[in-house]
Amino acid sequence: MQPRLLEIRKGVLDKNDQLARRLRDRFSSAHTLAINLVSSPGSGKTLLLEKTLASLRSTGYRAAALVGDLQTDNDAKRLAASGVPVRQITTAGNCHLEAQMIEDHLEGWTLNDLDFLFIENVGNLVCPSSYDLGEHLRVVILSVTEGEDKPLKYPPIFHSSDLAIITKIDLAEAVEFNRAAALANIRAVRPEMPILEVSAKTGVGMAEWLRFLLVQRAAALMAIEN
């Protein structure tokens, strides 16, 4: 039975990857930078995205968000308060988003009207690592309250990401966060990956995060034009 299960899984992933490539081409053609945000539950991912959407909108950039969750639409309602288009993807128990879900929920949106599309994945550091959603950037988020060994426990998601963000750094001292160990563990898995340290609550590190997004979008546009 095991080989058959592996064949089925490979077929599912192959189909997902094909659709993801088509989605990435659509995003690139529309000059829309797609960012997949992945983390454990409670990492501060939604607050980070909430502040990011509001900041981009206030500076004239056009952004939207797709929000994945097992059951509720609580996060989507919260993000919609930023004034940007937001859609909920309810997975009904699925522990990750898939490319087909992204395509289905893009219906009716004009991608050419968006500079950034954020995909808030289901809170999970395991399943999302295997599923390409057509994103240009995959960002893995680790909060200081989770412990410094998360990169060693879940290396695939850190290895497949383009940026690591350490969140809730305003709480680092209170929870006795070992910053040196966390950085060393991330770099042990992905030595060259950039790392940002952010507090969405206090604003520390947010300017660097927004600058990173703008630089990445400019680089993506330059690559398309060349």
Q: In this predicted model, what pLDDT tens digit does every residue of 145-199 receive, in sequence order?
A: 999 999 999 999 999 999 999 999 999 999 999 999 999 999 999 999 999 999 9
Domain at 2-225: CATH architecture: 3-Layer(aba) Sandwich (3.40)
Q: In this predicted model, what pLDDT tens digit does every residue of 61-79 receive, in sequence order?
A: 999 999 998 777 788 888 9
Token output for 1: 């039975």
Q: In this predicted model, what pLDDT tens digit does every residue of 105-135 receive, in sequence order?
A: 999 999 999 999 999 999 899 999 999 999 9
- pLDDT at residue 137 in the model: 97
**Is the pLDDT assigned to residue 224 strictly greater than 80?**
no
**Is the pLDDT assigned to residue 20 strictly greater than 80?**
yes
